[in-house]
Amino acid sequence: MTIVAVIRHGPTAWNKARRIQGRADPGLSDAGRAAVSDWRPPAVVDDFAWISSPLKRAHETAALLHDGEVTNDPRLIEMDWGDWESRTLDDLRHDLGDAMVENEAQGLDFTPAGGESPRQVQVRLQDWLAAVAASGQDTIAVTHKGVIRALLSMATGWDMTTPPPVRLDWSSAHLFHIDDQGRPAIKLLNVGLDGP
């Protein structure tokens, strides 16, 4: 089996303000850059190929963590939050009321206005996983919370209508086995980024 490791990008000013980023493209904040500079990928990924979402916050994180080549892949881009990008969930819940409650209750089919659902994220993610499996190259991807949650859902059957089956640390690496069809299974989650 091929191994895929995923790391979420470092913090941005929008993260601190709890604003939804989606496809918006802020870079890392100064604090985020400092935090990532202290991270060290686990030794298990030493021979992995490095790939990143094309968004600045992810690519910058990858460049800080890895001196070698980092390839961008649009299939790793964050979930599209459409008209809701730059808003906060609290504001959306206040403004949309019951409609937001009903939408969030859809789990994998939750869809922001003008955006995409987690299930749609899974479709493009499955395509990428199948390509990695076909290559046979263990790979580490720097990506986004929405993409990593979609991957966890694929690996566990979680439908996103309940709390996640495992609490993920967003300052850690998460490793998955990928079978020859690109189907993921958990290998090891919450691997600290404090070096070998």
Where do the structural domains in the chain lie, given as residue ranges?
A: 2-192
Torsion, Cα of 135, 5, 66, 70 (10° steps):
40
At residue 194, the pLDDT reads 82
Long-range contacts of 130-135, Cβ-Cβ distance < 8 Å, separation of 24 or more: 130/181, 130/182, 131/182, 132/2, 132/4, 132/178, 132/182, 133/2, 133/178, 133/179, 133/180, 133/181, 133/182, 134/182, 135/2
pTM assigned to the model: 0.96
- Distance, first Cα to last Cα, the chain: 23
pLDDT per residue as tens, the chain (196 positions): 899 999 999 999 999 999 999 999 999 999 999 999 999 999 999 999 999 999 999 999 999 999 999 999 999 999 999 999 999 999 999 999 999 999 999 999 999 999 999 999 999 999 999 999 999 999 999 999 999 999 999 999 999 999 999 999 999 999 999 999 999 999 999 999 985 5
Tell me: domain 2-192, CATH 3.40.630.30, correct?
no
At residue 3, the pLDDT reads 98
Cα 185 to Cα 41: distance, rounded to the nearest angstrom: 21
Residues with Cβ within 8 Å of residue 29, at least 6 apart in sequence:
11, 12, 13, 15, 16
At residue 77, the pLDDT reads 98
At residue 195, the pLDDT reads 58
